[in-house]
Structure 1
Amino acid sequence: MVTPSTDDIISVLETPIDINFDLPDPEDEGIEETDFQEQLDAIWKVCDRFDLQTDIWRGRILRAIRDREKKGGDGRGTGFLNWLKQREITKSQAYALIQLANSADTLLEEGQLDPTTINNFSKRAFVETAKASPDVQRLVSEAAQNGDRITRREVKQLSDEWTAMSSDLLPEVLKEKATEGTLPARHLAPLVKELEKLPDSHIETIQKEITNNPDVDTIKAMTSEAKSLSKYLDAAAQVQTLKRASLDIEMALDEALRLECLNTAADLVKQATQLEQTVAKLYTTWKRLGSLSDRLYVDTGASNPHLRSMLTCLETLTSEVIEVELDEGGKKLVRLRVMTEGE
């Protein structure tokens, strides 16, 4: 990954590239299906490596153009956008390539990646690896050096394994089973992420349960419960109505757990949050509508009967009592009275 000189670049550009793979004949019944698939997979990987190297350099080129424009352009990125337009590259495609180049350079600069193993990565794996923690980057780099093909799946698998084995929230019995391979790490990582969001009292309860029953079904059930607990606590913390009351949210949560209605309680506080936010948005919109209506009334007169008629029709929305028909037949009508304090 050493930056090539100008002469090297010119030499490469002047050298004709002729990619001509000998693809197996799909109609040849003499080729076994496994052999057919293996030949195509091998050719695909060659294309992948060529594509990865090319896109990393494209990203570096685009980054250089963008940074140059930031320093000496018009401040709006016009030169950079024109450059993309001339080459029929969208802005999102450009920044995806720049992100790929940034990921590659980050891994190389931090010493987490051997340049000779770059061809073992897919493009997305590069980006995911750059986002991962240094420990996960080290594991991925070691796998690449061993000749493993690194895709997003491999990065996620190694990340899950590290999350599970390095967490203090999982009992040792689970870590032992993960090491033995009898309990896949992909089931443990989601549990760790959900436990990190909970208070200690609820973590201890879940830890006891998974220690007594260290199996996949229990792990899945406890992950779901931890997720519901987290949603409940997050939603309850956002409900202004609950904040104004002398209510012990934790005790309410314990009672919901005891009655096995946690999901219902979590959905209740979530809907309460959404209702409060909807009311706030409704009030803001109602005020804006009234202001616009008043302005239009001042700007019009009796010589504009149609505009005046429109304003009259909208009085059911701009007045203190809002009326809205929920169906076209008008059989179901909702009335809301807006009463404000502190204004």
Structure 2
Amino acid sequence: MQELPNGVELEFQLPDPEDDQLSDQEFQRQINTAWQVCDRFDLQTDIWRGRILRTVRDREKRGGDGRGTGFLNWLKEREISKSQAYALIELANSADTLLQDGRLEPEDVNHFSKRAFVETAQAAPEVQQMISDRLKEAEETNALPRITQRQVRQLSDEWTAMTSDLLPIEIKEKAANSSVPARYLTPLVKELEKLPESHQTVLKAEIAENPDVDTVKQATAEARYLAKYLTAAKQVQVLDPEAIDLESALEEALRIGCLNSTADLVNLASQLEQMVVKLYTTWKRLNTLSERVYLDSGTSTPHLRSLLSQLAPLSNEIIEVNLGEANSRFGRTIRLKILSTDTFTHQMNEPE
């Protein structure tokens, strides 16, 4: 990578926004040209920044402390967050992969916007090859190709629609003649992939019977809720798989049309259990810290003791929290009593 000569700047002669003699079409052309140049330089700069960051990281891995401290300090000195750094490294890795596989030539990068390039790097190899072929065809006809994010997504959607085994032939034919836009099929495939085969079969049958946009949207929503239900049901401890047939409950919810509510119900149950566990561990930690501060304080720290006294309602077995204004009409006091197995054991061992 060569350094730019001193004094070289990226500079444009932008159109005058108040020039009434300039047509809107010409104004947009000049603005788009300048924007595309900035986009191209931004992409090339970020690729090289990613390569630089990767080099520094790998050097620190080889001779550092094994925890990446040197790399993190290097980022801190340059005010780069860890997430930004790894996003740039990922971009550089993607660029190198595309170039090494021969799907793109180094000069082809100039034909991409930054977002289009990232989208291409994340696309299937077949989609990458189609984009490469389009670039070569354009070069042979001396055209000036410009690859946009929308074009890459469209190719990815079309590829998904034509190749996925999860889509019935009826909807593939509709996608092929553009009567059903391919962009609706990619989300459907992603949701179907999360489901067991039995549920995939039911939804595929619905789509085959009515291969239209509304059915695809409805199937996508149902697949999403099905996946949410199946995932959450496995995490809810109170649900005993031996005492309840989760699949049958799901089929009944589907039959009476309350799948969405049932999925949300199970999902909220899972969240509530997780919150209870977090509440208990936080309460235990609060008690431990309160006891430590109490032992470390004394008559010489009356304000600190006053702080502990004010926090006492949160460290007792019965926790009290006000919901809304205490003296208002709608104010409520929420009381929760924490009874763990330790508490039960202690109560059982107490002498009568």
Q: Could you say which TM-score interval applies, normalised by the shorter chain?
A: 0.7 to 0.9
- 2:122 aligns with 131
The 1:74–1:237 alpha-carbon spacing in structure 2 relative to 1, beyond 3 Å, is closer
Q: Offset of 1:99 from its aligned partner?
A: 2.9
- 2:288 aligns with 291
Q: Which amino acid aligns with 1:185?
A: A
The 1:341–1:79 alpha-carbon spacing in structure 2 relative to 1, beyond 3 Å, is closer
Q: What SS does the corresponding residue of 2:239 show, helix, strand or coil?
A: helix
- 1:154 aligns with 151
Bigger CA drift: 279-288 or 56-65?
56-65
Do the aligned partners of 2:318 and 2:337 also contact (CA within 8 Å) in 1? yes
Do the aligned partners of 1:128 and 1:155 also contact (CA within 8 Å) in 2? yes
Question: In structure 2, how many angstroms separate the alpha carbons of the residues matched to 1:297 and 1:29?
Answer: 77
- 1:341 aligns with 341
Do the aligned partners of 1:132 and 1:159 also contact (CA within 8 Å) in 2? yes
- 1:206 aligns with 203
- 2:297 aligns with 300
Q: What SS does the corresponding residue of 1:55 show, helix, strand or coil?
A: helix
The partner residue of 1:44 within 15, 32, 35 is 35
Do the aligned partners of 1:70 and 1:77 also contact (CA within 8 Å) in 2? no
Question: In structure 2, how many angstroms separate the alpha carbons of the residues matched to 1:101 and 1:228?
Answer: 37
Percent identity reads 57
- 1:108 aligns with 99
The 1:302–1:130 alpha-carbon spacing in structure 2 relative to 1, beyond 3 Å, is same
Q: Offset of 1:251 from its aligned partner?
A: 0.7
Q: Offset of 1:27 from its aligned partner?
A: 3.2
* RMSD between superposed Cα atoms in Å: 2.8
Question: In structure 2, how many angstroms separate the alpha carbons of the residues matched to 1:84 and 1:333?
Answer: 46
Do the aligned partners of 2:75 and 2:82 also contact (CA within 8 Å) in 1? no
- 2:332 aligns with 332
- 1:63 aligns with 54
Question: In structure 1, how many angstroms separate the alpha carbons of the residues matched to 2:277 and 2:134?
Answer: 52
TM-score after normalising by structure 1 = 0.85
Question: In structure 2, how many angstroms separate the alpha carbons of the residues matched to 1:14 and 1:308?
Answer: 67
Q: Offset of 1:305 from its aligned partner?
A: 4.2
Q: What SS does the corresponding residue of 2:336 show, helix, strand or coil?
A: strand
Q: How many residues align?
A: 333
Do the aligned partners of 2:36 and 2:113 also contact (CA within 8 Å) in 1? no
Q: What SS does the corresponding residue of 1:243 show, helix, strand or coil?
A: coil
Q: Which amino acid aligns with 1:328?
A: E
Q: What SS does the corresponding residue of 1:31 show, helix, strand or coil?
A: coil
TM-score after normalising by structure 2 = 0.83
Q: Which amino acid aligns with 2:99?
A: L
Query: C-alpha offsets along residues 142-179 of structure 1, whole Å, 9 cap, x if unaligned?
Result: 23334442233222222222222111111101111111
Query: C-alpha offsets along residues 162-211 of structure 1, whole Å, 9 cap, x if unaligned?
Result: 22211111110111111112211100111111111122222222112211
Query: C-alpha offsets along residues 95-140 of structure 1, whole Å, 9 cap, x if unaligned?
Result: 4433322221111112222334221112222223222332222223
Query: C-alpha offsets along residues 47-91 of structure 1, whole Å, 9 cap, x if unaligned?
Result: 3333333432333233323333433356654477458736x6665
Q: Offset of 1:295 from its aligned partner?
A: 2.4
Query: C-alpha offsets along residues 224-269 of structure 1, whole Å, 9 cap, x if unaligned?
Result: 1111111111111211101366111111111111111111111111
Do the aligned partners of 2:40 and 2:113 also contact (CA within 8 Å) in 1? yes
The partner residue of 1:121 within 112, 123, 139 is 112
